[in-house]
Chain A
């Protein structure tokens, strides 16, 4: 919508075309992209982001309907509302993309991430790591006398928090799936 900003005198522009909208704040957005699972479809989606200079913070993809060859790609991205609107429209231009669902904007969105966290140590720190893992309801899926591997599911923030707490306790390695999303309620999409 026209906001009258065209009337404003130019500030200190980086580009004379003034494509950025300095009045807009960058937002984080989770998008679920439903696609035909055909060869190259992921490359199309990822190539769109790199080719047009958009960000990808996290990306997950798997076939969700084997019969109909449908895959669901969940992308966490960032941008101004103007850029986010473009991202959605550009995604829908891709021929095998059937639907783009804005999980963040829907208010009914649920986001989860799974992580595997390896922590090594002995004595007091080892006990402390296990204690914190219990608080976070992380499961131990592998153990040696000097290490644990924890499996933790939750929001990205929760996982990041857990990793921060493990850092002084002998954090060795982290593997994260990236964000998965779905909407609450009985309806699809």
Chain B
């Protein structure tokens, strides 16, 4: 999304007749003016007036979810795959509290989202009325901003302001709580032109001296690395294009966080793969041994850094981020650059174009990287009799890759295997819950993606445990003709929990086994969809193609090896150059590391 700040318009717009309408109509009108074409929601007592106004608004497609959490994640999927804000509409009380998880998820992953909540009438606020909760109080710390609208004449302005805040600067979720009497009341509609918030002025243009200093470092670095993140994707397609240009000009190898996959093409010879706990051996070793780290739109998350005091000890660090609070929060950097990724890359490229000197030859550095790559860290022992989960994702990738394929995931082992074995060439094609790690994200997110891209192939790579958190949303997909494919890597375990219990708790598998799983084929049929089961490597390809070719939602129950561990892995409390590559022995994590998550 573009991150230019809206400046107050000084030109006087032609004075239109003031438009009076009900609060509920204002909501619909404001959404229309913001270009919203889809809305994910669930009706209830406190939003009935808005639903009544939607009844006469066929241009705004409403996707009826089965649980409000689904509406939130669907809005996130919509936003992540389009670059436009996702919008959700829910009722008061439980409607709002069920939205807390997706709001927090969007906050952690910087996803632009506007959540409209009904509230009890203003005169009942504070009386513990039926389905009342303190929505603004509850969502204050997990949203970028929130509003309780008590005057209908503020409503349109607040909605426009919410869209501005959600989509500019570091994007995030904005919650608007609208009491029922405000929805009924009549007031004056204001358009989005000129709406601004004087205290809210995100900085997008980087400091010129910081750009010069960054260029100086690039001109002298022998072992540079570009460490990119979700900020590149949030900045919009231009940022991904400029990243590719910067890489082309400098030859610097590129790695990315989980959230940034797709900003740089995985087919590129200088692509290192994902960094972090389950990232590639070459990416982590390059991060550890580099002499210049350019962090672009990432935030030194603990899944990325591992042990902080052993994090990239020999490098100069540049941190480019639109959010000043991300800089020096975890890792102290040499050059902080506050700005939008695209604007910063543009400035940096222009600065580099002015430099005449010769940059160091990166050939030696690339030879070292090639040696690490030669370790083939994602290798696994394949089998003729049982489907290995890695093999399943590999086959899925080979059979479905393309510019019109979008992948979402749940959270756990399958998510990491998807990140390791499914490769992306373009941004906005990979939707996953990175920061909050929300099991149950993937299916509703896929619903949102498919809503925005009706003709695309949308696949939720799932686990059998995660999918059960939200499986009712399969019914949403059926109702709205959204042909999402749910590809379940079914190992009957909460795989990542099982892996950590093996690693940390002496193989005492406390409550991580699913004793009674549903029959996913029958479940799909019961919900009006199509179910496929596969437990043989020989049949895998044919069944994946059957899934792809089925014109409707599919639950694919892929029975995989039960005890497979997700490797390589940086054990908690360890450094980038201390990855487990082959087998887990149980002695990898020291006492300090055991206390971590």
Is residue B140 contacting chain A, with contact meaning CB distance below 8 A? yes
- CB within 8 Å for A82 and B328 given contacts A6-B310, A95-B145: yes
Contact with B along A1-12 (1 / 0, CB 8 A): 111011110100
Contacting residues, chain B, for A3 (C-beta < 8 A) = 332
Which of A13, A35, A47 is B199 in contact with, Cβ under 8 Å? A35
Which of B113-121, B224-232, B317-325, B477-485 forms contacts with chain A? Answer: B317-325
Contacts of B595 in A (CB 8 A): 15-16
Contacts of A18 in B (CB 8 A): 307-309
Interface centre among A1, A36, A47, A93 (most CB of B within 10 A): A93
Q: Answer yes or no: A79 CB below 8 A from chain B CBs.
A: no
- Interchain CB contact (< 8 A) of B165 among A17, A39, A40, A95: A95
Tell me the B560-576 residues at the A interface (CB within 8 Å): 572-574
Do A16 and B572 have beta carbons less than 8 Å apart? yes
A43 within 8 A of B: yes
Q: B487 on the interface (CB 8 Å rule)?
A: no
Return the contact of A86 from the options B136, B146, B311, B325 (Cβ within 8 A).
B325
* B140 and A43 contact, CB distance less than 8 A: yes
Complex Cα distance, B541 from A137, in Å, reads: 89
A90 within 8 A of B: yes
Query: Is A89 in the interface zone, CB < 8 Å from B?
Result: yes
8 Å CB contacts to A: which residues of B298-320? 302, 305, 307-313, 316-317
Interface residues on B, range: 35 or more
Check: A189 CB closer than 8 A to any chain B CB.
Answer: no
Do A16 and B307 have beta carbons less than 8 Å apart?
Answer: yes
Which residues of A are found within 8 Å of B333, using beta-carbon distances? 1-2
| CB under 8 Å from chain A, chain B span 309-359 | 309-313, 316-317, 323-325, 327-330, 332-334
Q: What separation, in Å, do the CA atoms of A97 and B596 have in the docked complex?
A: 34
| Closest partner residue, chain A, to B165 (CB atom) | A95
Q: A17-B596, A82-B328 are in contact. Are A5 and B309 (CB under 8 A)?
A: yes
In the complex, residue of chain A having the shortest beta-carbon distance to the beta carbon of B309: A18
Residue in contact with A17 in the complex, picked from B141, B200, B307, B325, CB distance below 8 Å: B307
Contact assessment for B324 and A6 in the assembled complex, using a CB-CB cutoff below 8 Å:
no
- Distance in angstroms between the alpha carbons of A16 and B165 in the assembled complex: 36
CB-contact partner of A2 in B140, B316, B593, under 8 A: B316
Contact B140 A86 (CB under 8 A): no
Chain A residues lying within 8 Å of B317, measured Cβ to Cβ, are 2
User: Which residue of A2, A43, A51 is within 8 Å of B137 (Cβ)?
Assistant: A43
Q: Which residues of B sit under 8 angstroms from A13, Cβ to Cβ?
A: 309, 592
Chain A residues near B312 (CB, 8 Å)?
6
Complex contact B334–A1 (CB within 8 A): yes
Q: Which listed residue, A10, A14, A19, A92, touches B324 by the CB 8 Å rule?
A: A92
B197 within 8 A of A: yes
Instruction: Please give the distance in Å from A188's CB to the nearest CB on chain B.
Output: 16
Binary B-proximity of A82-114 (CB < 8 A = 1, otherwise 0): 100110011011011110000000000000000
Q: Which residue among A48, A86, A95 has the maximum number of chain B CB atoms within 10 Å of its CB?
A: A95
Whether the Cβ atoms of A19 and B330 lie closer than 8 Å is yes
B198 interface residue (CB < 8 Å to A): yes
Chain B residue nearest in CB terms to A4: B313
Complex Cα distance, B143 from A51, in Å, reads: 13
**Is the CB of B180 closer than 8 A to any CB of chain A?**
no
- CB <8 Å contact, B323 and A16: no
Contacting residues, chain A, for B278 (C-beta < 8 A): none
Instruction: State A7–B288 Cα separation when bound (angstroms).
Output: 12
Q: Is A44 an interface position by the 8 A CB rule?
A: yes
Shortest Cβ distance from A90 into B: residue:
B325
**CB nearest to B333 among chain A residues:** A2
B199 and A95 contact, CB distance less than 8 A: yes
**What CA separation (Å) do A93 and B140 show in the bound complex?**
13
Contact B310 A93 (CB under 8 A): no
B144 at the interface (CB under 8 A from A): yes
Whole-angstrom distance between the alpha carbons of A82 and B330 in the complex? 10
Residues on A with C-beta less than 8 A from B145 are: 95
Report the minimum CB–CB distance from B106 to chain A (whole Å).
15
Bound together, the chains give a CA A95 to CA B323 distance in angstroms of 13
A74 to nearest B CB, angstroms? Answer: 18
In the bound complex, what is the Cα–Cα distance between A35 and B200 (angstroms)? Answer: 11
In this assembly, does B148 line the interface, its C-beta being within 8 Å of a C-beta of chain A? yes
Q: For A39, what are the chain B residues with a Cβ–Cβ distance below 8 Å?
A: 136, 148
- Within the assembled complex, what's the spacing in Å between the Cα atoms of A74 and B536? 67
Are A47 and B307 in contact, CB atoms less than 8 angstroms apart?
Answer: no
Complex: chain A residue closest to B589, CB-CB = A16
Q: A90 — which chain B residues lie within 8 A by C-beta?
A: 325
Minimum CB–CB distance from B345 to chain A (whole Å) comes to 23
Q: Which residue of B lies closest to A95 (CB)?
A: B145
Contact with A along B183-215 (1 / 0, CB 8 A): 000000000000001111000000000000000
Residue of A nearest to B590 (CB): A16
How would residues 107 to 137 of chain B score, 1 for a CB under 8 Å from any chain A CB and 0 otherwise? 0000000000000000000000000000011
Q: Which of A114-154 contact B (CB under 8 A)?
A: none
Q: Please give the residue numbers on chain B whose beta carbons come within 8 Å of chain A beta carbons, in ascending order.
A: 136-137, 140-141, 144-146, 148, 165, 197-200, 302, 305, 307-313, 316-317, 323-325, 327-330, 332-334, 572-574, 590, 592-593, 595-596
Q: What would 18 more interface pairs be, CB under 8 Å, given A16-B593, A82-B328, A98-B199?
A: A2-B317, A6-B310, A15-B595, A16-B573, A16-B590, A16-B595, A18-B308, A36-B198, A40-B146, A40-B148, A47-B140, A86-B325, A89-B324, A92-B325, A95-B145, A95-B165, A95-B199, A96-B197
Q: List 15 A-B contacts (CB under 8 A).
A: A1-B332, A1-B333, A2-B333, A5-B309, A6-B308, A16-B307, A16-B572, A16-B593, A16-B595, A17-B596, A36-B199, A48-B141, A89-B327, A92-B325, A93-B324
Measuring CB to CB, which residues of chain A are less than 8 angstroms from any residue of chain B? 1-3, 5-8, 10, 13-19, 35-36, 39-40, 43-44, 47-48, 51, 82, 85-86, 89-90, 92-93, 95-98
Closest 3 CB pairs of A and B: A16-B573, A89-B325, A98-B199
